[in-house]
Amino acid sequence: MANFTTHISYAAAASGLLSVLCLQVGFVTPNEALFLAFLGTLGGILPDVDLQHSYPSSIMFSLLGIAMAFAVIFTMDRDLSILEMWFVGLCVFTAIRYPVWVVFHQYTTHRGSIHSLIAALFATFVVTSVAHYWLGKNAFVAWLLGLFVFLGFILHLVLDELYSVDFSNRRIKRSFGTALKLLDRNKPLKSGIMIIATALAWYSTPSAQQFWDTLISRETYQIIGARFLPQEIQAPTTNNNDLKTNR
C-alpha cells in the first residue's frame, strides 16, 4: 500500500496539471481551477478515510466538520449574535469531527466498501450535487468538480495496487487485489448499502448532458491540441478559438 505522502503528492500533481488544462481551454475560471486541484487532491486521499487514526481520516472529518459548520451558520437567522453563531458552528464541527468520526470507524474497515469503485462513484455524485445545489455551480462545472474527485480516488486505488507488486523480487504481495475492486464482496450488507446510497446520490445530480457533450466533442480536443504547445511552434492552420461553455 502506498503511503500518505505518495498518495497526496501524485494526486496533487495530476489534479494540478489537469486543472491548468481546464483553465486554458476555457472550462473554468481561475478560482474554479484552484477548486478543481483541491478536490482532486482530496480525492487522492479519500479512500483512506476509513483508516482509523490516519492522516486522511483526520483531514477528511475535519474538513467535513468545517464545511458543515459553515453551511449551518449561513442558514441561521442573522438576528443571532456573533458569539451565538460561533458557538453553533463549533458544536457542529466538534460533533462531526469526534462522535461521528468514532461511530463511522465502528462500522467500517480499511480496504472495505469505501475502498472501491462504487465508493468512488458515490463521492463523485455527492460532490457534483453539493457543487450544483449548495455552491450554485452550473451543471457542467459541478460535474467537472465531481470528475476530479473521481480521478483522484481512482489514482489512489491504482497506486495501492501497484505498491502491492514487488517488482524487485518479482512477487505479488497478499494485499494485491484488495484495493482496486468494484465492491467489497466480503461484506455484502455494507456493499449493498453503498450501492443504494450511490444510486440515490446519482438520482440527485443535475443533468450531465452538457458535460458529456463537451467531453466527447471533437472541438474540445481540437482546442486542447491548439493550446497544448507554444504559439511559435503551432501549425499555421491551427484554430485557437476558445471553447465556449454555458456558464
Per-residue confidence at 157, pLDDT binned at 50, 70, 90?
confident
Give bridge partners of residue 171 from the DSSP assignment: 166
**Phi, psi at residue 81, to the nearest 5°?**
-75, 165
* Amino acid letter, residue 145: L
Q: In the prediction, which pLDDT does 97 show?
A: 80
Distances (CA, A) of 226 to 22, 28, 209, 222: 13, 18, 25, 6
Secondary structure element (H or E) that encloses residue 171, with its range: strand 171-172
Angle at 203 between CA 201 and CA 207, to 5 degrees: 115
Per-residue confidence at 61, pLDDT binned at 50, 70, 90?
confident
Rg over alpha carbons for the chain, rounded to the nearest Å, is 20
Cα torsion 108, 199, 247, 24: sign: positive
Helix, strand, coil fractions of the chain, as percent rounded to 5: 65, 0, 30
Q: In the prediction, which pLDDT does 128 show?
A: 95
Give bridge partners of residue 165 from the DSSP assignment: 172
Secondary structure element (H or E) that encloses residue 60, with its range: helix 55-74
Q: Write the DSSP assignment of 115-144 as a string of letters.
A: SSHHHHHHHHHHHHHHHHHTS---HHHHHH
Average pLDDT over residues 119-142: 92
Exposure letters 115-146 (e unless 16+ CB within 10 A, then b):
bbbbbbbbbbbbbbbbbbeeeebbbbbbbbbb
Q: In the prediction, which pLDDT does 144 show?
A: 96
**Phi, psi at residue 171, to the nearest 5°?**
-140, 160
Whether residue 169 is predicted with pLDDT greater than 50 in this model: the reply is: no
214, 243 in Cβ contact below 8 A? yes
Whether residue 174 is predicted with pLDDT greater than 60 in this model: the reply is: no
- Can you tell me the distance from the alpha carbon of 64 to that of 42, in angstroms, rounded to the nearest whole number? 12
pLDDT tens by residue, 9-24: 898 999 999 999 999 9
Per-residue confidence at 236, pLDDT binned at 50, 70, 90?
low
